[in-house]
Structure 1
Amino acid sequence: MDFRSDVRFPGLRRAIEQCAELNSHIEGFRSDPNGRATLRADLDVDSGYHILRIDQIPDYRHAIEEVSLGLGDIVNNLRCSLDHLAWQYACAHAKGTPRKPRDVYFITCNAAGGQQHKAPGFLAPQVWGRMHAYQPCQGVNGRPDSWSGPYIHQLDLLTDLSNSDKHHMLAHIELHANQFTTIATRADSPPWFERTESGVKLLPERVNDPDPGSDHLDFSHASGLAEVGAEVARIRAPLWTGHPVIARVGTATPLFALPEGRPVVETIQRLSEFVQTIMDDLQQYCP
């Protein structure tokens, strides 16, 4: 991420640095073969599909703890950065220390249609007007949530994570269907690939040809859980015919996620960008 860091808000600068550190930690763990779950395949006679299930799983407790601690630090630095921003403008409005300093923080406005949007008295109207443009009451406002699960505004998510960090472990681990590898499922290549002396050549004109030797994947029963016995996917694989059980058919790579499947690093980067945007905007229009 290419952020401009303001020395007046070291918490934001530190949060951005911690995002990079957390990403390196997670990717290091994910690339370690010892951190992957092993899979087995059992033939479902009625459907002809082999069901992939988690057979053995590493002990993820330490990894989850480390990611949760790092994530909590980032969330609280982001939250504090917004509160420091509100304090700075509250002091400017009061021309000194605000009359009720404990009441000064970055307000969240969730007023619904027809309800009053109450402006905080410790901020100048111009400043609150700019802050208010980024509030959950304004709706999506060009900042959609692209992750799984129901939509949640960035400020609401940041507040929820900050509150949860005081009482819960923030991160957990899921094993998603697109994060696994298996032994070969077919003996040949699709008709749109041609093997040559130098390798494999793509034949675009044949991409719509029938592929009788193809495998078929079904993710509709996948649980996403990182536990022994959890289903990862179902595969109808020509090369596996005649093998009712394949003991070590592949591995699954862990995905560190927040509740509702939101990926940790991408989500926290999105929140960092949101906080940075607010600070840049306030400093540009309300110096």
Structure 2
Amino acid sequence: MRSAWIKWARAVEHQRVLARQSREFVEVDSHEYVRFDNASDDSDPLLRIQWRLKVKQPYPEQWSLLIGDILTNMRAALDHALWAAVIAHSGPPARPQAVQFPIATTTNKLRQPRSDLAGLVTPEIWQAVESLQPLRAQSEPHLHPLEILRWLCNVDKHRFVHVVGLTSIDLTPVHITSPTPLQIIDEWRHEGPVADGAAVASLKIKRPSGGRTRLDLQPTFSLLATLQVSDDPVEHRSLQAVMDGIRDAVLWVLVTLTKESGQPVPDADGLELGDLHETVAAQYAGHLGIIRHSDGTLTPIPSPPDDNTPK
């Protein structure tokens, strides 16, 4: 079982590198919001204002390589754990290529793995394997961390797992200050993945009568690095949430199978983990995200405590 833990530890080490680079990237002037309006067109009864995202520095390609290494090692950790359980119970299997930790979102998808693998391990091990499946989730099994790992691993076999654009979150309305009363006709915010040059907010205001007036507009945007985690339906989740979820889900599998095998759970020191990297390096220094205000200042959004992390 030790090789499974070493694979997991190596993946975590890569995650720490990615997390540190993510924190450093937040401090880079990587993007800005460009305002467009028709203030000079007095013939239009509406004042139309739009903000577009301008990407000044894209996410590094190295992140895709790190993510690929993380996924490969996490997936291998699961397979190594099941292999160790098979060897301990029934010896070298007749079909080694069939010994893969199953990840199933439905009962039908688990039927063939059960036929191939259940007899190769102890009943307790197989019961544990089935209990850990995404299909046991109360809702949205396609968003279970193990299913996300399976899906991303398949993507990584054929192409880069890209950090998808940016996600703009509607936090507050545009703050408007004007010496005269204004009538807002429409306000719109984009929420979801965005690309360079995409509109992220727009505002339509009835043009004040009696000449021009000074408007102070202060929109607030929040941007997160995201990964696509499903294609049916298409879903995106923050890079931090995906990495943390996969790490903890695989850890829980290893803890469960190790205990069911009657072996002690190793400690971090025994895995020689983290000699070259920080001990703790959550993305954004432990924050869920960073709000970039119109004046360029940054405000962190603290991550909520996770009381469900496996011990």
Q: TM-score, normalised by structure 1?
A: 0.68
What is the distance in 2 between the residues matched to 1:256 and 1:114? 32
SS at match of 1:176: strand
Tell me by how many angstroms 1:124 deviates. 2.1
TM-fit CA distance, 1:30: 2.0
- Give structure 2 stretches of 5+ with no counterpart: 229-234, 263-311
* 1:181-216, Cα deviation, whole Å (9 max, x unpaired): x9x84379xxxxxxxxxxxxxxxxxxxxxxx89x99
CA distance 1:46–1:84, shift in 2 (3 Å): farther
Cα deviation for residue 47 of structure 1 reads 6.1
Output the amino acid matched with 1:107.
Answer: P
> Which structure shows the bigger proportion of residues in strand conformation?
2
Q: Which moved more, 1:80-89 or 1:122-131?
A: 122-131
Q: Does 1:30 align with 2:22?
A: no
Question: Which of structures 1 and 2 has the larger relative contact order (alpha carbons within 8 angstroms, sep 6+)?
Answer: 1
Equivalent residue, structure 2, for 1:13? 9
- 1:158, 1:271 within 8 Å by CA — same for their partners in 2? yes
The reply to whether residue 173 of structure 1 matches residue 141 of structure 2 is: no
Q: 1:284 is matched with which residue?
A: 259
Partner residue of 2:201 out of 228, 233, 237: 233
Greater shift after overlay, 64-73 or 124-133?
64-73
User: Within 1, Cα distance between the matches of 2:15 and 2:171?
Assistant: 22
- Aligned residue among 135, 138, 144 for 1:137: 135
Deviation at 1:274, TM superposition (A): 0.4
1:59-78 alignment to 2 at 5 Å?
Answer: 59-60=57-58, 63-78=59-74
Any gaps of 5 or more consecutive residues in structure 1? Answer: 1-5, 189-211
SS of 2:16's partner is helix
Separation of aligned partners in 2, 1:154 and 1:73: 17
Please tell me whether the aligned partners of residues 41 and 245 of structure 1 are also in contact (alpha carbons under 8 angstroms): no
CA-to-aligned-CA distance 1:130-151 (integer Å, 9 cap, x gap): 011011332x14xx67xxxx95
How many residue pairs get matched? 243
- On the 8 A contact 1:257/1:264 being kept in 2, the answer is yes
User: After the TM superposition, which residues 43-122 of structure 1 pair with which residues of structure 2 at under 5 Å, given as runs?
Assistant: 50-54=49-53, 56-60=54-58, 63-95=59-91, 97-112=92-107, 116=111, 118-119=114-115, 120=117, 121-122=119-120
* Structure 2 SS opposite 1:38: strand
Residue in 1 that maps onto 2:177: 186
Change (3 A) 1:250 1:168: farther
Distance 1:175 1:159, change over 3 A: closer
- The equivalent residue for 1:271 is 246
Q: State whether residues 42 and 245 of structure 1, in contact with CA within 8 Å, keep that contact through their aligned partners in structure 2.
A: no
2:212 is equivalent to residue 256 of structure 1: no
AA matched with 1:24:
R
* Amino acid across the alignment from 1:172: V
* 1:214-273 deviation per Cα after TM superposition (whole angstroms, max 9, x unaligned): x99944455641221x11123579xx9947999xx8897753211233111221111110
- TM normalised by structure 2 equals 0.64
Q: Is the 8 A contact 2:4 2:77 kept in 1?
A: no
Deviation readout 1:30-67 (Å, 9 max, x if unpaired)? 2212x11332132596665632123x43241xx34121
The aligned residue for residue 154 of structure 2 is 163
Q: Report the CA distance shift for 1:93/1:216 in structure 2 as closer, same or farther (over 3 A).
A: farther
Q: In percent, how many aligned pairs have the same letter?
A: 22
The answer as to whether partners of 2:8 and 2:77 remain within 8 angstroms in 1 is yes
Alpha-carbon distance between aligned partners in 2 of 1:267 and 1:87, rounded to the nearest angstrom: 26
Change (3 A) 1:244 1:89: farther
